[in-house]
Structure formats: structure tokens, C-alpha cells
Amino acid sequence: MDYAAALLSKLPATSPRRSRHIKQLVETLEAYMPAEDIEQVMKSYEFGALAHHGQTRMSGEPYIYHPVAVAQTLADMHFDGQTITAAILHDVIEDTEFSITEIEEEFDSEIAALVDGVSKLDQMEFTSRAEAQAESFRKMMLAMIEDIRVILVKLADRLHNMETLEAMPREKQARIARETLEIYAPIANRLGINHMKVLLEDLGFRYLYPFRYAVLQNALKRSKGSQRQIVKRISERIMKAMQEEGIDGEVRGREKHLYSIYKKMAGKKRLLSDVVDVYGFRIVVDDVNTCYRLLGIVHGLYKPMPGRFKDNIAIPRINGYQSLHTTLFGPKGLPLEVQIRTTDMDRVAEAGVAAHWQYKAIDKTTATPQVRARDWLARLEEIQRTGTSEEFLESVKVDLFPDKIYVFTPNGDIMPLPKGATVVDFAYAVHTDIGNRCVAAKVDRTLVPLRTTLHNSQTVEIITARGAKPNPNWVSFVTTAKARSAIRQYMKNMRVSESEDLGKRLLDRALKDLKSSLRKVGKIRLREALDELSLEEPADLFGQIGLGERLAPLTARFLIGDKTDDEEPASTSLVIAGTEGMVVRYAKCCHPIPGDNVMGYLSAGRGVVIHRNSCGNLINFRKQPEKWLTVSWETGLDRDFMSQIHVETVNKTGVLAEVAAVIADSDSNIEEVSVLNPNPDVSVMIFLFQVRDRTHLAQIMRNVRKMPNVFRVGRDNT
């Protein structure tokens, strides 16, 4: 007696329903599979039925129904005997007493490896469910790198689990549905298996957002009647035009699936009626030349929308998908989405890597989807070598979603980034130090601004400089979390360092006014003072003074033991050079520059803000004289400061350009211009530009005042 018969003799009488399940599978296999492979599948069925005997699913059905359903899905895609066998056995290790060794002994090592790759890691100990899920996913992906059939069995397994998810508790339904939408549907899409992607997305949507799903489903049912008539009429017109040109082919009206409608509504903030009333058609012909001929025919029937044509035949998508896409203005302006492809392209579009299954062939590299899939898997193998399982899972999820771009380093390395990423995002993706020291960039060998948005396939080169620092304004345009957090962290550290330096200078000056110094105060007294103030280090005290959270004169008195408070503390003096960084700011209300009479105001948490003495906003500060600082400029400053002037001119064309040219010719760089028109005859131009000092500003104002169309020039004192 052979092995299958021996196993069969140990089984209870087979139920009629179980017979129908396996009978349907065998009928499907007989259409394409050799008899000896079908015998192996039957052997695996009997083995699995024995292993799962007595087990039931949450729905109450015998457990063996599930692996047979998984095998049926793969059989419909015409997979080989080993894949179907592994599908039937895929839960044996996890849910029964049989081991991987026994499966290898009864079948072969290749089938055992497939089964092991699909199995979860429930037997291992993990610190969290997230870690367990991530490690299970990592193992599955590594097995998939060795044999891509692992993920195909897993996708079929997930599809049947989603089809029978109704029996699960609501909380588990939502968790499994979210995982399906985040991981498994994108994998199916990445491998080009469109029909499986669509089913997984719609089922995931149904169980993750049941109410939204029901509302959309009911709305679509109500609109289907009229839609069907419109689709039929347009299809007949296209077929008639094809027949007149002697083109054989098939025209299908495409029905949008619910999840794609939901994503379009959510992403583009559009009403359901705007999304539903888009009609889709797929035209399948014999060869590529006919595809392009047919494109001209449909453009003759209906006008194409500008900018809505894509040639995915000449430039296939990353998963091997090929098709011509065009959007047309249909009857009464209805948008018509048309796809034109060959029969082979249609098969690849629906089945992806499974379209030309070649594991039994000698040459496994000729099918484009398989080649592209293996290239992707090779990149996954590199990703998994470093980091934790959870980091690997996040990396793969990033790679799976289509809202990504791929750019190149000068060495040809691929760098994945989110769509909308800038040059600075790229710099930080390479390395945090590269981002921090970035000063310029080249995209495709051309210098570009650092805020430039990157696009697919560009080559990016970052230019760095020793001593360069991140610009706080970068935070306003970077898109990646890594870049944003690195910039903020650097600024925070730099702000702390600068505030400590400024605070020490202010305290030194205040102590000097009291005929003392930090050296005279001594380490012992400083330590006592820090303990009384609940501070750890002198740097903490200096930082608080530098940020305006503690006043230097009062702190100086406290350090030397002067507790008299019958008089206001003397104002601390400060000499500024314009290089103090973020803790010394120049007020934007009056734009002080070297040569101006200025004062400093201690703003809690911000440091020192420098104002001109004539600034109108100083009225607000006179109630807090203890926060004033006497400020003077260092001599011989060699840097630029921002200044602002108002220019009243004749209101006529070309005057703005004339004034701007005079300012630029005066060795100044204009940062910002705004124009007011208080009456039809007069324009008021406000220029913000860079100057070295008050003398430089006076020269610019004289040059502007001499212009024939200028009435008045002045600085704003408010």
C-alpha cells in the first residue's frame, strides 16, 4: 500500500463537502499540470487532512478547507505542483504536531523550505506583539528572497483569511485588515498581481472601515444602472471604429473597486459623484503596433485631456506593468479613462510575476516581472542586514508604497525618498553629518537651490563645507522625519551653547560692575549658589542668563552675597559683533545696524533682542527697566546686516526696476520688496536689503534720493 493510501486508511469517512473542495482543485490542476504532480498534490491533501483532523476554524468549518482554498487560488493562477503542495501544507508546522523535518522526509527539501518560509514564529519569545509581527514578517521576506513563491503562498493565504474574516472579533478584524492594507496589498501591487491587490484592498477596506465601505457600496449600487448603459454605448462605438479599421480586439468596461474610489475621495477631497462618474475602458489587442494605431483611433473618437497620457509600454512600471493610458472627454464631457495593451501585457497586468511562471524552466530570467521582482528582493536582502526587525518592516513598507521617488548618489547608489523630498532631505538621508554641513548641491551636474524638489532618476551631489551649520529655515521645506529632527536637534544644541556663552559674558560684565569676577567669587561659593538655585552645573546658570530667564545684575549680587534690594539693579552692558548666533536677535520692527544707537532687551526664552533707541516699540519695554541692556557695537565689523527703507515714487511702469537697480549697484543684495499704492499717483516701495553699517545705508539712500521719479526716502522707526 502506498503512503497516500496508508494515510487515507487512518482518516474518517470523507464528507461530501470536503470531496467537492478537493474535486474542484483537481479539475483545475488537470487543465495544465502533469499527472505525477497532481498525485503529489493529492498526497499533500491527505497528509494535511490527517494533520489537521479534529481542528476547526472560527466559522466552524473543518480546518483543511482553508489550505485547500489557498491552493485553489494558486491553481487558478496555474502555479506548479510544488507551490500547490506547499499551499496545502502551509499551516501544518504552525498548527499541528508535525515538524519541518517530517515534511521534508515525506516530500522534499524545496517544499519544506516553502512551508517553513510561510510559517509564523509563534514558538519564539518576543518582548512585544509588534516585535513578533515584525520578526515573522522578516523571516517570511528572507524566505521570499530565496524563493519568491513563499510570498505568493502567503498572499493567497491572506486572501482566504480576509474572505472568511467575518467570524473574527471586531478588534481582530480591524488589526488584520490594517496589516493587509499596509503590507500585503502593497506587496501584491509591487509584484504586479493586480487582481489579488484589488481583492485584498477591498476586503481590507471593508473590515477596517465597515461604515464607510457600506455607504460607498450602497451609493455605487444606486448608480450602476445608468452607468451600465453609458459604458455599453461607448464600448459599442469603440468596437465599431476598430472594425472599420480592421482591428481585432476586445473592449471591456472597467468597474472601479471601492478602495480606489475611497482613496481618490480622501486624497483629492472630492465628492463621490465626482469619482464615480469616471468611466474606465480596457482595450486588448494582438500586438504593440496595433496599440499605438488604436490610440490614434480613440483620440479621433473623443478629444484627449492634455497632460493625461502615459506610455507605460515604452517605459514599463517598476513591477513590469505595461499599457497605454489616456483620458478623454466623453459624451457630455464625462471623463473616460482608457487603457490599451496586448494580450500578454494584460496577463502580466493581472498576474504579475505569475504571468509566465518559469520555476520548471531552465532559464528563469527571461520574464520581465520576475527579473524586476528579483531586483527588488536583492535590495531587501541588503536592507535586512542592519537594524532590528521592526526597522526592517518599516523600511520594506516605505519601499512598497508608490508615493516614493528613487534618486542616485554620484556613485550610482539608489536612495529612496518620499515624493516631494528636497535636496536637504537627500543630504540627511545619506548621513546626518552630510546634512549638517551641506552648503550647496548639484542635480544632474547643475547647481540648484537647497530647497529644490527631487524627481525620479535624478543624480544628486551634495557639496559640504567644514564649519557649515544647518539653517533653521530648512525645517520649513524638508519632508523627511530624519531631516526635520536632525535640524531641530542641532539648533537646540547650538542654541544651548550660544546661550551659555552669552550668559557667561553678561554675568562677567555684571560682576565687573560690582568690582568682582567669577574668579573672585570662587568655585565654593558658585557651587553653593547653584545648590540654592537647584541647578547642576555653572553652564545651566549661564544658559538661563543668556536666554533672559535670569537677570545678570541680580545674579551677580546673589553670587557676591549682596542682598540689598532698595535700589534697582544696574543695567548690564554688552558689546555685540553680529556673530552671537540665535541668542542675540535684531528686531525686525526697526532693523538696527552698526552705527545706530541701540539697546538690548532680555526676552525670556529668546535671549537678547537688539532695538534702535528710536524704535517706537521701546515704549512697551520701559515698564521693565531691569531687563534693559546697554549695548554697543564692536569696531571694524566685517559682515552684513538687514536694513529697511521706504521709497515714495511716481506711480508709473518701470520705477520699481530703476530703484532696485540703484540699490543693487550700491553693493547691496535685496532680500524682499513690497509695493503700496496709497493713491493713483504715488507708490510706496518698501525694500529690505543687506548693508554693512550706517554709512553704507546713508550712501544707498543718497543714491536713491537723487533719482528723478523719487519724492522721499526714509527709514522706518517703528
pLDDT digits (tens, 9 = 90+) for 301-342: 988 888 778 888 877 776 667 889 888 888 877 778 899 999
β-strand 438-443 against 598-603: which pairing, if any? unpaired
The residue from 27, 30, 76, 94 that is catalytic is: 94
pLDDT grade for 19, boundaries at 50, 70 and 90: low
CATH number of 403-479: 3.10.20.30
Place of cell 526592517: 392
Q: Which of 35-49, 220-234, 472-486 has the highest mean pLDDT?
A: 35-49
Give the pLDDT of residue 699: 92
Does the fold of domain 641-715 match that of domain 3-211? no
> Catalytic residue at 596?
no
The C-alpha angle with vertex 488 and arms to 487 and 490, in degrees rounded to 5, equals 65
The C-alpha angle with vertex 204 and arms to 151 and 200, in degrees rounded to 5, equals 40
Q: How many CB atoms neighbour CB 302 within 10 A?
A: 20
Q: Is the dihedral of CA 634, 640, 645, 649 positive or negative?
A: positive
> What average pLDDT does the segment 80-89 reach?
89
Q: What is the CA radius of gyration of the chain?
A: 37
Give the pLDDT of residue 617: 76
Give the pLDDT of residue 199: 92
Checking if the pLDDT of 295 tops 80, the result is yes
Give the pLDDT of residue 372: 56
pLDDT grade for 2, boundaries at 50, 70 and 90: very low
Give the residue, 678 or 224, on which the prediction is more confident: 678
Give the pLDDT of residue 115: 85
The residue from 95, 102, 110, 716 that is catalytic is: 95
Alpha-carbon distance of 379 to 365, in angstroms, equals 17
Checking if the pLDDT of 85 tops 50, the result is yes
pLDDT grade for 373, boundaries at 50, 70 and 90: low
What is the grid cell recorded at 214? Answer: 457600506
Checking if the pLDDT of 461 tops 90, the result is yes
CA distances from 246 to 233, 298, 302, 342, 367 (A): 20, 14, 19, 16, 31
CATH topology for 220-354?
Answer: Beta Polymerase; domain 2 (3.30.460)
What is the grid cell recorded at 104? Answer: 521534508
Place of cell 542675540: 584
Checking if the pLDDT of 402 tops 60, the result is no
* Segment 179-186 long-range contacts (CB within 8 Å, at least 24 positions apart): 179/133, 180/204, 181/205, 181/208, 181/259, 182/397, 183/137, 183/393, 183/396, 183/397, 183/400, 184/154, 184/155, 184/158, 186/397, 186/400, 186/401
Q: pLDDT tens for residues 558-569?
A: 777 665 544 444
What is the grid cell recorded at 404? Answer: 516614493
**Nearest residue to 554 via CA among 543, 567, 538, 539:** 567
User: What is the domain partition of the chain in residue ranges?
Assistant: 3-211, 220-354, 403-479, 487-610, 641-715
What is the grid cell recorded at 588? Answer: 525686525
> Catalytic residue at 255?
no
Q: Is the dihedral of CA 530, 534, 538, 541 positive or negative?
A: negative
Alpha-carbon distance of 705 to 267, in angstroms, equals 54
DSSP-derived secondary structure letter, 97: S
> What average pLDDT does the segment 258-263 reach?
83
Q: pLDDT tens for residues 136-185?
A: 666 655 655 566 778 888 889 999 999 989 888 888 999 889 888 887 88
SS (H, E, C) 294-314: HHHHHHHHCEECCCCCEECCC
Give the pLDDT of residue 560: 77
Q: Kindly report the average pLDDT of the chain as a whole number.
A: 77
Q: Say how far residue 392 (Cα) sits from the centre of its chain.
A: 16
> What average pLDDT does the segment 225-231 reach?
73
Alpha-carbon distance of 303 to 639, in angstroms, equals 60
Residue type, 413: D
Alpha-carbon distance of 511 to 360, in angstroms, equals 87
Give the residue, 128 or 514, on which the prediction is more confident: 514
Checking if the pLDDT of 432 tops 70, the result is yes
CA distances from 712 to 152, 539, 646, 702 (A): 77, 50, 8, 11
> What average pLDDT does the segment 498-522 reach?
74
34: helix, strand or coil: coil
> What average pLDDT does the segment 22-31 reach?
87
- Least confident among 4-18, 85-99, 275-289: 4-18
Query: DSSP per residue over 607-650, as a string?
Result: EEEEEETT-GGGGGGTT-GGGEEEEEEPSS--S-EEEEEEEEEE
The C-alpha angle with vertex 603 and arms to 597 and 609, in degrees rounded to 5, equals 30
Give the pLDDT of residue 16: 39
Give the pLDDT of residue 388: 55
> What average pLDDT does the segment 697-701 reach?
92
Let me know: does 631 contact 574? Beta carbons within 8 Å.
Answer: yes
Alpha-carbon distance of 89 to 40, in angstroms, equals 12
Checking if the pLDDT of 255 tops 50, the result is yes
Of all residues in the chain, what percent carry a pLDDT higher than 70? 75
Q: pLDDT tens for residues 636-691?
A: 777 788 899 999 998 888 888 899 999 988 888 888 888 887 778 888 999 999 89
Alpha-carbon distance of 462 to 434, in angstroms, equals 8
What is the grid cell recorded at 110? Answer: 524545496
> What average pLDDT does the segment 181-193 reach?
80
Of all residues in the chain, what percent carry a pLDDT higher than 90? 11
Give the residue, 525 or 711, on which the prediction is more confident: 711
SS (H, E, C) 62-77: ECCHHHHHHHHHHHHC
Checking if the pLDDT of 270 tops 90, the result is no
Checking if the pLDDT of 360 tops 60, the result is no
> What average pLDDT does the segment 117-127 reach?
51
β-strand 460-464 against 438-443: which pairing, if any? antiparallel
Q: pLDDT tens for residues 566-597?
A: 444 445 556 665 555 556 778 888 888 888 88
Alpha-carbon distance of 388 to 411, in angstroms, equals 27
174: helix, strand or coil: helix
- Least confident among 5-14, 49-58, 414-423, 501-510: 5-14
SS (H, E, C) 492-510: HHHHHHHHHHHHHHHHHHH
Query: Which helix H or strand E contains 610, and what residues bound it?
Result: strand 607-612
**Which CATH number, 1.10.3210.10, 3.20.20.70, 2.40.100.20, 3.20.20.220, labels domain 3-211?**
1.10.3210.10
Give the pLDDT of residue 529: 79
- Least confident among 152-156, 408-412, 496-500: 496-500
> What average pLDDT does the segment 63-91 reach?
89
Alpha-carbon distance of 569 to 627, in angstroms, equals 10
> What average pLDDT does the segment 376-387 reach?
53
CA distances from 5 to 11, 39, 40, 63, 64 (A): 10, 12, 13, 21, 18
- Least confident among 437-446, 485-494, 631-640: 485-494
Alpha-carbon distance of 558 to 552, in angstroms, equals 10
Domain 641-715 has CATH 3.30.70.141: no
Let me know: does 644 contact 714? Beta carbons within 8 Å.
Answer: no
Alpha-carbon distance of 674 to 687, in angstroms, equals 7
Q: Global pTM?
A: 0.50
Q: How many helices (H) and strands (E) does the chain have?
A: 28, 20
What is the grid cell recorded at 11? Answer: 482518516
